Amino acid sequence: MAVLVTGGAGYIGSHTVAALLERGEEIVIVDNLQQGHREAVLGGKLYEGDLRDEAFLDQVFKENSIDAVIHFAANSLVGESMTNPGKYYHNNVYGTLCLLEAMNKNGVKRIVFSSTAATYGEPERVPIDEHDRTVPTNAYGETKLAMEKMMKWFDTAHGIHYVSLRYFNAAGAHASGKIGEDHSPETHLIPIVLQAALGQRPHISVFGDDYPTEDGTCIRDYIHVSDLADAHVLAVDRLRRGEDSAVYNLGNGQGFSVKQVIDIARNVTEREIPVVMEARRAGDPAVLIASSDRARKELGWQPKRDKLDDIIRSAWQWHSANPNGYGKN
Ligand code: UDP
């Protein structure tokens, strides 16, 4: 039986494909390659196409024996979602609806879902656990929450069990050096800081130093992408054991401010990284830190690469060796 990975040519998807390959799983990938990279797919059978193309998706299910789906395919930029929410509702929410309908039609009953800490919005307390309220502060988080709720009702009606994994801030790159983070345009803090270290940008813009945190900049919980990948494999195992649907946070439980990230990056890269203070970015909560106790207990998940300087070092290895990502160096 094969695992279908949607968005398997993207950043977290490609690292999850690598983790599935390492344990000998048969893999089918669907990616429209709008943000994904063919070169990031280290194995498996790649179909280039869009989840919203019903005939295409049905063909993928018909041509393969799929017993579980891992669903990454989505747009994921907070800032863009605030200026173009329609894109997020169409690709993320409608795309997920098409996927669930195709799964139901083809009798596939297991889905692992790529969710986000942005479902919580401004937290009532940190660390955040899975029972805390979900009031997204941006359209991206709102669409991911809508997708989770859709899965809940497909579970109730059709018995499609799901595991939703709410990631905090993914960073780092695969130990092989073959795959890493390459978004275009890049909006995430760590790759931008490393581009500034490489001289590809004149500086890093810090979005707001007037948040209610010690140094005034936002605090996030950074988690290595390969630790996230491992959690997806464990989530597939949980569903194959026939256990109930569940929602899990995935983070290291430790927060770092934007300024702290820049300082650590300066140490790791031994480069100067010029900083310019700018206004807040719309939709950013001040502090996001995970409690991942539930994933540890119920999935047996244990992050192995949990030190921020190691995470940044692994990202730096990728960025310094591939300054233009998957493009020509
Ligand atoms: N950030 C920043 N400058 C940048 C990119 C990001 O100051 O050029 C901040 C952003 O406002 C947030 C944090 O870094 O507080 C992490 O942002 P990122 O986009 O990496 O992840 P998010 O938390 O939005 O998923």
Full DSSP string of 130-156: TTS--B-SSHHHHHHHHHHHHHHHHHH
Catalytic residue among 11, 88, 120, 140: 140
- Write down the pLDDT at residue 154: 98
Tell which one of 120, 215, 281 to mutate to probe ligand 1, the residue whose CB is within 8 A of the most ligand atoms.
Answer: 281
pTM higher than 0.90, yes or no? yes
Q: Are 49 and 76 found together in one domain?
A: yes
Averaged over 38-42, what is the pLDDT?
98
Q: Are 163 and 297 found together in one domain?
A: no
Going by C-beta distance under 8 Å and a sequence separation of 6 or more, which residues neighbour residue 83?
none
Tally of structural domains, the chain = 2
Q: Are 268 and 141 found together in one domain?
A: no
| Nearest atom in ligand 1 to 192's CA | 8
Asked if the model's pLDDT at residue 261 lies above 80, the reply is: yes
Question: Which 8-state DSSP code applies to residue 324?
Answer: T
Q: Are 17 and 161 found together in one domain?
A: yes
Question: 86-124, pLDDT tens digit by residue?
Answer: 999 999 999 999 999 999 999 999 999 999 999 999 999
The CATH number linked to 296 is 3.90.25.10
- 189 Cβ below 6 A of ligand 1: yes
Report which protein residue has its CA nearest ligand 1's atom 10.
207
Scan for tokens 């990616």, then name that residue.
31
Q: Which domain holds residue 271?
A: 189-220+253-321
Q: Are 167 and 233 found together in one domain?
A: yes
| Nearest atom in ligand 1 to 278's CA | 7
Does residue 18 sit within a domain?
yes
140 assigned to active site: yes
